[in-house]
Amino acid sequence: MRRIAIVGAGQAGLHLALALSAAEYDVTLVTDRTAQEVRAGRVMSTQLLFGPARHLERDAGLNLWDATAPGVSALRLTVWDPPGKSALTFTGRFDEPPHSVDQRVKMAGWLGLYEARGGRVRYACATPGSLPELAAGHDLTIVASGRGDLTRLFARNPLYCPFDRPQRTLACVYVHGIAAPADHPEPQARANVVAGAGEVFVLPALTTGGPCGIVLFEALPGGPFDCWLDQPSPDGCVTRALGLLRTYAPGEYELCRDARPTDAGATLYGAITPTVRHPVAEVAPGTYVLGMADTVVTNDPVTGQGANNAARSAAVYLDAILERGDGPFDPEWMQTAFDTYWQHARQVTEFTNLMLEPPPQHVQRLLAAAAEHPAVAHRFVNGYADPADYHAWLMTAAQADAYLTAAGAAN
């Protein structure tokens, strides 16, 4: 029986650990928190899992919240330019509703399931110094810990991502009390793009106490949304968020005005540097480990792709491991496994990086067309499920103009 160690018990690590255990591999999962500690801790993300990633979870038998997490029927995008005044808005329905499950619920649930099935867990804080011994005792060691010192073992690859600093500062809070717009009572996600300030996303989710909403600020550094350095309490976060919405996105404020935090751990603050890293690290002479998901491809959450990338990475690596059979998990195999994943992750990264930049003229034309043509809105919204589609019509001015002409939406 082949022995595999997985460092990190998040979306990617737990998905892969559970799937490999089901395939009768000898798996050791390394994490520094128990399921109880995860569930009682602070929120960790603002995840939204789209249709293709939900299928991957379903195929692995990990879709434990399909009946309880609210399905997101549509995405409404509003551009506020100048701030406080709506310049355009449109709504597109998802062909397959995504959903959001608080990672405190999901990771605690999956970790408990892994242990209940007899999975081995080593409760420890993995460090660069502990990896050589771990890797020496296993046929394959995978690092699925997307933050901290372990990521620095994997060299940055500037060829695939140009940023060397965060492009947004982030603040999110889980809340109760968000209202639905009168014209769309079903659960929907809303994106508010505010000129000179950044973005505010509001989406339904499932948390430890049941259904809730998430409010996420993506603040342009130095702009009016960039005001979270003091990391206020959940109540303070909601108060500040409502003040900002009232000024810069008043339509969203009206829907959120009765918001209140879900619990004492309902806030998350920080900043992420979008990064692509080389996937193979030599932790001792002749001893190598493989990075996966956020460890080696880190995107800003502005496009909501993090959990989806993690699910895809777990599925790709699972297939590569199963296909390898008794062959060696050498650096060449590791690179090939990553390259297969990168075929998808590259398109996600390029789309996300485009959305972090000031919107070029052709993107502005597409958004304006979406406000007038439901077919354009539908295609834009459903591209989030698989950003590969954007590469046929969104990424360049020539593609955009050709698409708008063919769709009868050109000015």
What is the distance of C-alpha 177 from the center of its chain? 24
* pTM of the entire predicted model: 0.96
339 - beta bridge partners?
none
122 - beta bridge partners?
30
Give me the torsion for CA of 181, 184, 186, 187, rounded to 10°. -50
Tell me whether the omega of the peptide bond preceding residue 82 falls within 30 degrees of 0, making it cis: yes
- Domains of the chain from N-terminus onward: 3-46+53-63+102-163+273-355 (3.50.50.60), 74-99+167-271 (3.30.9.40), 359-406 (no CATH)
Q: What is the DSSP track for 70-124?
A: PP--EEEEEEESSTTSEEEEEEEE-SS--B-B-HHHHHHHHHHHHHHTT-EEEES
pLDDT by 10s per residue, the chain, length 411: 899 999 999 999 999 999 999 999 999 999 999 999 999 999 999 999 999 999 999 999 999 999 999 999 999 999 999 999 999 999 999 999 999 999 999 999 999 999 999 999 999 999 999 999 999 999 999 999 877 889 999 999 988 888 999 999 999 999 999 999 999 999 999 999 999 999 999 999 999 999 999 999 999 999 999 999 999 999 999 999 999 999 999 999 999 999 999 999 999 999 999 999 999 999 999 999 999 999 999 999 999 999 999 999 999 999 999 999 999 999 999 999 999 999 999 999 999 999 999 999 999 999 999 999 999 999 999 999 999 999 999 999 999 999 999 988 877
199: three-class secondary structure by DSSP: strand
Residue 30 has phi, psi (to 5 degrees) of: -110, 120
What's 213's DSSP letter?
A: E
Per DSSP bridges, beta strands 275-276 and 26-31 are: unpaired
